[in-house]
Amino acid sequence: MEKAKKSFLTKFTAANVAKIAILTALSFVLYAFGKFNVPFMFPGFLEFQFSELPALLAGFSIGPISGCLVIIFKCLLKFPLSSTAFVGELTDILLGVLFVLPASLLYKYNKCKKTALIGILIGIAASTAGAIVVNRFIAIPFYLKLYFDGNWQPLLSIVRPLYKNVTVENFYRYYLLLAILPFNLLRCGISGLLTFAVYKRVSKALHFEFQKKKSKKTGDEAAEAHGALSSGVYKSSSAGETRALGKRLGEALSGGEVILLFGELGAGKTTFAKGIAEGLGITAIVTSPTFTFMNIYEGGRLPLYHIDMYRAGDGEDVYELGIEEYINSTGVTVIEWNKFSRPFDKAIKIEIKYLDEGAREIEVKIENTGN
């Protein structure tokens, strides 16, 4: 529970709040003023608007909760302009969440193109199914009473140019299958495919708060500073000794280093990272960021960015996580299961090999990859 709370609060930094506000404003403009209808295909009161696009961008770049907040806030902003006693806006919140939440939730746990596309398709299906249910049992009965005082004839006259044989008895069959179903598949499909097409291009802009700061020290200078734990092979007979080695390294770090941890599951990578944090003077409890991708620890003499890329996509999908901008900053970056293809200026490779219960072989390589 504490870990989930910490992860939740970490998302709501000043930068992320600013991004949510910007995307909400864009979503509201599209929602309130960027809509149009296609009367030759659908009834005139069904209006196309693509306000879920900014919400999907928020969900992909910040997280599912943020995406849902954009949906909720843009509908709340529309309340003063409501002509439906808020019923339209409330149903739009429900349908928007049904679209954004599955897509961004699935993407959160596996950040790659394939998962993004599958998530979007699931969101389209969920929102479309929700639209059918909402129109059948909430929207149409409500609007029929609000606008026509329960009289079906004005409503039938509106849809009859498209559906000549529509009657009170078969209205829902025509309307749900020939209007609501294709309309929402098309509307959500366009929003989803646009998001899929542009997200990679705008991903770095959505992480505008990070400024990469190149370290002035290169690998040779870093090696001199790391005299407390130089390149070589070390033996550890317990988790405590593994942590102590990490602490020795942490005590010598000056900022800008990238610690690359290698080793099979359970080898002790996170234990070594705990030692680094201790050496930096960080008192917070260090836990594996497997499901959050990155945990940030402050309060020591240098900030620690602990990254776990085990569940991240490969290659060009990696930068979408928004974590690359932390690397070579004034803090220390620890990466487990590294999937970046480029070298780092102040790289320290730590390979932990399992020998037997409690025993480990830890190889340290301090590399000069600076320019």
Domain CATH for 172:
1.10.1760.20
Of 169, 162, 164, the residue nearest 183 (C-alpha):
162
What's the number of domains the chain is made of? 2
Same domain, 277 and 362: yes
Q: How far is CA 249 from the centre of its chain?
A: 32
Same domain, 84 and 36: yes
Same domain, 230 and 197: no
Q: What are the CA-CA distances from residue 271 to residues 20, 241, 244, 260, 334 (Å)?
A: 35, 10, 9, 14, 12
**Both tokens of residue 269?**
């990578």
| CA 97 – CA 257 distance, rounded (Å) | 41
| CA 105 – CA 119 distance, rounded (Å) | 8
Same domain, 183 and 277: no
- Would you state the torsion angle of the CA atoms of residues 128, 137, 98, 57, taken in this order, to the nearest 10 degrees? 70
| CA 43 – CA 162 distance, rounded (Å) | 7
Domain extent, residue 116, equals 2-206
**One pLDDT digit (tens) per residue for the chain, 371 residues:** 444 444 444 456 777 899 999 999 999 999 999 999 999 999 999 999 999 999 999 999 888 999 999 999 999 999 999 999 999 999 999 999 999 999 999 988 777 788 889 999 999 999 999 999 999 999 999 999 999 999 999 999 999 999 999 999 999 999 999 999 999 999 999 999 999 998 877 876 776 554 443 333 444 444 444 445 788 899 999 999 999 999 999 999 988 899 999 999 889 999 999 999 999 999 999 988 877 788 889 889 999 999 888 877 654 555 566 677 677 677 899 999 888 877 888 899 999 998 887 799 999 998 754 43
Q: Is 335 helix (H, G, I), strand (E, B) or coil?
A: strand
Same domain, 188 and 291: no
Amino acid type, 349: K
CA angle 235, 241, 243 (to 5 degrees): 120
Of 312, 307, 301, the residue nearest 287 (C-alpha):
307
Does 320 map to a domain? yes
Same domain, 300 and 340: yes
